[in-house]
Structure 1
């Protein structure tokens, strides 16, 4: 693999103009994890006519059963495209086996622990090298959970992270059947037989998800489970995090409810930090859902400008006079 980086082998596999945007796709082979076949696709978006004047870098992490298209549709619509048009240097990684990232040899055993310990630090290092700036990070759902794991495990953090925003991310929702060991063991054995879960078949998204991620989540929510891995308590580590933090929940989110997102927010020791709930009671036009909080016409009008404001100035409270929608510590 011909390298366009001094860190590890990187190949520029595509360089295209998409309307007013430039789209460069890189394939990274960090070689830093036990599975040496891991390769990660990272798409860089920018304004096509000002390629040499990149703005502030921001890295967008998709959730489960998803890929880069959550942030950037083929028609050039999405938060990623919006931020690029506002002058940001936008980077959109795809996790192992998702989108343009090929399936690694141990694909079925992939875990958030692998993403947090190996992949996110490599992606962050590459973006810092290419942009010569410290990136902001935004994660949705499992992408945000992975960011929390990387922060709590001290795989990412200051001074290599400018800020972190978590949308619809939590690890505290209770699944009572998993508190019964025989049921948890039986569910694990059943999942291992499949190897992967189909997003299209389950109507959860366009991508498959390895059962390793699901089994790991079951362990977190088991009878004596905790958010972490062997020898590393991510939940406890979150209290030591010291980067500007924004946590956003959606009033209509049934998958990752507001109370659970707030609990994650309260565990993180960052200062400053902000909490935002997207709902009618907070002055928004509706109670946003888990996906609609970032992918909808309402989000385009009401949420995307707030994200832009946060990235430009994480120290200033959002929403101005609508202070009841915001908690600032």
Structure 2
């Protein structure tokens, strides 16, 4: 298996795109991380993770780091003035345009958590890309959080809505790595935008008013598969994943709740749904077959 880092220049920003492949000419797949994360949720330089597994299955795999995260530079700091709007209207199009230059075949899209909201927003906003998309897969993706339990109260009610804004006020950005809240940091703008969207309400862009909900219900979605874990009680609770599917008007989407009761090897949570060693022989294998079928 081979890996290389590609960089895309956007003014002063360098966007990092990790390319992973075993043999040339495979069907391309683009993977996008969520909030307070980066592309390492999907791969390691030692060949672990979903991206590396899919490369072993013959796919041509690309993993993006949204601006300021992972190996994209400069890293997020107090002067960073970008958020979801830039991710949807700049980062994702630039990543996909780069992949199209390297491999002009139709592409599969895979996202974790909030990355699925960003990708769905991108497709709703730029429906001309739909003809180039073979499928989309989401792990633990929700927009609104309605689940009411202890984990949801701590992670959303306490940390995200109360502590995170206090840390932004102190530092000028969310230093999630320093406080061990996540694998990467977030800008003040991206935190404010996600806070606005995670509350029940209309799915609309705070920057220019674009109505994502209306646009999402006007398009025909590519074949879609949503996964979440039974132990994901806050960031990708099953009821909120279903709410997002309904909000998109994606009536044909598949939805799998991974649990031992359902025949899986593990009761997965929000992170180990992608990182658990048993995931490869559990849900990664049927996903790879589904992607091949949709190719």
TM, length-normalised to structure 2: 0.85
- Is 1:77–2:48 an aligned residue pair? yes
Equivalence for 1:143: 115
- Is 1:124–2:96 an aligned residue pair? yes
Alignment of 1:307-322 (within 5 A): 307-314=287-294
Task: Give 1:94 shift.
Answer: 0.7
Which stretches in structure 2 are left out of the alignment for 5+ residues? Answer: 147-151, 154-160
How far apart, in 2, do the equivalents of 1:103 and 1:227 lie?
29
Which stretches in structure 1 are left out of the alignment for 5+ residues? Answer: 1-20, 177-183, 316-329
- Is 1:238–2:219 an aligned residue pair? no
Q: Deviations over 1:65-121 (max 9, x none)?
A: 222221111321111111111110000111111121102798633212211111111
Selected match of 1:196 from 173, 181, 184: 173
Equivalence for 1:68: 39
- Is 1:173–2:153 an aligned residue pair? no
Q: How many residue pairs align between the two structures?
A: 281
- Is 1:111–2:83 an aligned residue pair? yes
Equivalence for 1:324: none
SS at match of 2:194: helix
How far apart, in 2, do the equivalents of 1:295 and 1:206 lie?
13
Equivalence for 2:14: 39
SS at match of 2:278: helix
Task: Give 1:259 shift.
Answer: 0.4
Q: Which one has a bigger Cα radius of gyration?
A: 1
Equivalence for 2:197: 220
The 1:28–1:266 alpha-carbon spacing in structure 2 relative to 1, beyond 3 Å, is same
Contact 2:123 2:130 in 1 (8 A): no
Equivalence for 2:149: none
- Aligned Cα root-mean-square deviation (Å): 2.8
How far apart, in 1, do the equivalents of 2:58 and 2:202 lie?
43
How far apart, in 1, do the equivalents of 2:97 and 2:213 lie?
24
Contact 1:65 1:205 in 2 (8 A): yes
TM, length-normalised to structure 1: 0.77
Task: Give 1:283 shift.
Answer: 1.7
The 1:286–1:227 alpha-carbon spacing in structure 2 relative to 1, beyond 3 Å, is farther
How far apart, in 2, do the equivalents of 1:257 and 1:268 lie?
17
Contact 2:144 2:200 in 1 (8 A): no
How far apart, in 2, do the equivalents of 1:79 and 1:43 lie?
13
Contact 1:112 1:213 in 2 (8 A): yes
Contact 2:145 2:200 in 1 (8 A): no
How far apart, in 1, do the equivalents of 2:264 and 2:171 lie?
42
Equivalence for 2:157: none
The 1:81–1:190 alpha-carbon spacing in structure 2 relative to 1, beyond 3 Å, is closer
How far apart, in 1, do the equivalents of 2:88 and 2:145 lie?
21
The 1:301–1:240 alpha-carbon spacing in structure 2 relative to 1, beyond 3 Å, is same
Highest RCO, 1 vs 2 (Cα 8 Å, sep ≥ 6): 2
Equivalence for 1:303: 283
How far apart, in 2, do the equivalents of 1:68 and 1:187 lie?
22
Task: Give 1:228 shift.
Answer: 3.0
Contact 2:202 2:213 in 1 (8 A): no
How far apart, in 2, do the equivalents of 1:314 and 1:90 lie?
16
